[in-house]
Chain A
Amino acid sequence: EVQLMESGGGLVQPGGSLRLSCAASGFTVSSKYMIWVRQAPGKGLEWVSVIYSGGSTYYADSVRGRFTISRDNSMNTMYLQMNSLRAEDTAVYYCARMGSAGPFDVWGRGTMVTVSS
C-alpha cells in the first residue's frame, strides 16, 4: 500500500529550528516529485516546497532561504529542515506525492508545528 507518514513536528521558539521527516512506503521517493504543503490553523492550503526526481528543488517565496527540502534514498524518506522559524510558520505540515498525472495524489496525515515563545 502506498503511504506517507510525517514526523518531527512540535513546539519551537521563534528563531528556532525543526526538521520534519516524511517516510514513504509502497513506492520510491526518488522516482517521484515530492512535496510539502502546510495549513495554518483555520486557513487554506499553502504549497511550501518540492524536490524533483532529478534532485532539484523549489520553494515558496515565504520560506525560501529558511527551509531546505531533501531526501535520503536509502531511507526512502524526505525531509524539511526549517530554520529561523516565525510565528507565521505555525501550521500542520503535510507531505505529498505528485502522481504520474501531475497533481498530489497521496498525502500523509500531517504533523503540527507550533512556533511560539
Chain B
Amino acid sequence: DIQMTQSPSSLSASVGDRVTITCRASQGINNYLAWYQQKPGRVPKLLISAASTLQSGVPSRFSGSGSGTDFTLTISSLQSEDVATYYCQKYNSGPYTFGQGTKLEIK
C-alpha cells in the first residue's frame, strides 16, 4: 500500500507568514491528492482536490501544487483563523490513505 508522509508534524508561525506543508507519497499517484483542514473540535473540510484545485469558498491564500510523489500546501499569508490540523490524502484508489497531519499554530 502507498504511504503518505507529511512534514512537518507541527508548525508555529506568525500572522502574515508564508507557510508550506509538504506531503510525499511512497509511490506515484499522479495528481490524485487532496488537502483537508480540521479546526479544533470540527469536522474535516476539503480544501484542495487534484493537488491544486481550490474548492469553492476556500480563501485564495491557500494553494496546492505537485504531482507524482511530492506535493505542497501553501498559505501565502497566515491568518489566525487558519489554526487547524491539515491532512493530505491520496484518492486514486483504495486504501484512501491520509497523511499523519500537520498541526498549525500561531506564534
Residues of B within 8 A of A37 (CB): 44
Of the listed stretches A9-17, A22-30, A74-82, A102-110, name the one at the interface; the rest are far from the partner chain. Answer: A102-110
Given A101-B50, A103-B34, A107-B43, CB of A44 within 8 Å of CB of B95: no
The answer to whether B96 touches A35, judged by C-beta atoms less than 8 angstroms apart, is: yes
- Give chain A's interface secondary structure class: strand
Interface residues on A, range: 20 to 34
Docked Cα-Cα span, A43 to B72, in Å, equals 22
Q: Which residue of B lies closest to A50 (CB)?
A: B94
Whether, in the assembled complex, B46 has its beta carbon less than 8 Å from a beta carbon of chain A, the answer is yes
Q: Assuming A101-B49, A102-B50, A102-B91, is B96 touching A50 (CB within 8 A)?
A: yes
The residue in chain B whose Cβ has the minimal distance to the Cβ of A105 is: B46
Whether B49 pairs with A94 at a CB distance below 8 angstroms is: no
A45 touches B36 (CB 8 A): yes
Contact of A45 among B49, B50, B87, B92 (CB under 8 A): B87
- Contact code string B57-81 (vs A, CB < 8 Å = 1, else 0): 0000000000000000000000000
Task: Determine if B53 is an interface residue (Cβ-Cβ < 8 Å).
Answer: yes
- A103-B34, A108-B43 known; A44+B49 contact, CB < 8 A: no
Chain B residues with CB under 8 A of A44: 85, 87, 98-101
Query: Given the known A-B contacts A45-B87, A58-B94, are A104 and B43 also in contact in the complex, defined by CB atoms under 8 Å?
Result: no
Give the complex CA separation of A98 and B93 in angstroms. Answer: 12
Measured CA separation A60–B50 after assembly (Å): 23
Given contacts A44-B99, A102-B92, A105-B46, 13 further A-B contacts (CB under 8 A): A44-B100, A45-B44, A45-B89, A47-B95, A47-B97, A61-B1, A101-B49, A102-B49, A103-B49, A103-B89, A104-B91, A104-B96, A110-B43
Q: Can you report 19 A-B residue pairs in the complex whose CB atoms are below 8 A from each other?
A: A44-B85, A44-B100, A44-B101, A45-B44, A45-B101, A47-B98, A50-B94, A60-B95, A94-B43, A99-B49, A101-B49, A101-B50, A102-B49, A102-B50, A103-B34, A103-B89, A104-B34, A104-B89, A107-B44
A-B interface, 3 closest residue pairs, ranked by CB to CB distance from nearest: A103-B34, A58-B94, A44-B101
